[in-house]
Amino acid sequence: MKWLIIALACIQLSECFHKVILHHGKSVRQILRERGELKEFLKTHQRDPALKYRHLFPEYQSEAASEPLQSYIDNFYYGSMTIGTPPQSFEVLFDTGSSNLWVPSNKCESPACTNHARFNPSRSSTYSTKNQYFSIAYGSGSLTGFFGYDTANVAGINIQNQEFGLSENEPGTFFYDAKFDGILGLAYPALSSGYATPVFDNMMRDNLVSSPLFSIYLSREPTSQNGGEVTFGGVDNRLYTGEITWAPVLQEWWWLIAMEGVLLNDQPAFCIRGCQAMIDTGTSFLTVPSQEMGQLFKSIGVYQNENGDNVVNCDTVGNLPSLTFIIEEVYLTIPGSAYIQRVSGECFVAISSTYVRPPTRDGLLWILGDVFLREFYSIYDRGNNRMGFARAA
């Protein structure tokens, strides 16, 4: 049994696994190659292997950890993570509008699951479950499944015993077409289905991050491999310019803040009596209260094409009105080109409407999604329950 103990001790460290000889003369490298897991194992352990021990030495936790993001047609920003021992790899959408971590399970036979990476509990030596079930509904899709517990690794940070969802049914087509396998929620615990503890809360609890905040940069001109980054435990000063504007969080569910007004070409137009804004990386568009949508579209010159899509004349994009969001008496402006997406010679308007009232029932609700967040570096400060914005570099 001694060889087994040594192997289990070393299997997490890429620099020692080649030294361990298992039963019948097979090395860990040979075992992983035969199981088709060697490539992902090496990919996952390119970072400093000592990162998983840093929770034992909080006095040395002075650096933040960043995960690069990929982008798909400016609509989804996702990055890599692993779950299990040995690690199973997934692409996940980093979503500030939800709180649960979930990935497809190997028990799910929905087309959306079979089209993506699926987690196999039997292949992880650290997996456990309490047979608890969940159901989650998003604006564009839903799923049901069960909860499990296992080691998760995000941005080189190992989180022990992380609770996560494993989908058993993903109806519809939204998740089928998605480039990501699952979702990693970054909102408050109160929003979590099944009272599951979110990933970042476990990072804070186990002292895996040097500061109780994270920050997000979405590239203005993303490519499939350069969409931005999520930084856990700090702020990347290279990714923004100027001063940071801070705003208190109104309710510890979503990243919800107050706005004093919204200007159109520097003139008061919307949110006249004040309103609220949800900061949501999981929403691709800028979402406007339905009561104000007609006026905004008229000012922009929106019309519908033969497919019913909201578009504008591409020749007018350079003259489209700017939108300015007043937050804590600071004017945060995005140009007209920021809410336009050019696809196949047409200029689509990346603005949609919502009938949803704010959680506090006070005023109207805007959702500042990726259209806004490409222009502003965003900081999510759990330690002080506030949000920060600075002009993206």
Q: Which residues are catalytic?
A: 95, 280
CA angle at 378 for the pair 298 and 187, rounded to the nearest 5°? 95
Amino acid at 172: G
Q: What is the dihedral of CA 337, 76, 246, 389, to 10 degrees?
A: -40
Work out the burial of residue 355: count CB atoms within 10 Å of its CB; fewer than 13 is exposed, 13-18 middle, 19 or more buried. exposed
Interatomic CA distance for residues 306 and 342, integer angstroms: 16
The alpha carbons of the chain give a radius of gyration, in whole angstroms, of 22
Beta strands 275-279 and 365-368 are parallel
> Are residues 335 and 264 in contact, defined by beta-carbon separation less than 8 angstroms?
no
C-alpha to C-alpha distances, 199 to 16, 164, 186, nearest whole angstrom = 29, 9, 7
Strand order through the sheet with 365-368: 256-259, 275-279, 365-368, 286-289, 351-354
Interatomic CA distance for residues 242 and 233, integer angstroms: 21
Hunting for tokens 């899709």 — which residue is that? 141
Q: What is the dihedral of CA 103, 109, 111, 117, to 10 degrees?
A: 40
Q: 262: closest CA among 284, 240, 291, 219?
A: 291
Q: 291: closest CA among 272, 266, 310, 307?
A: 272
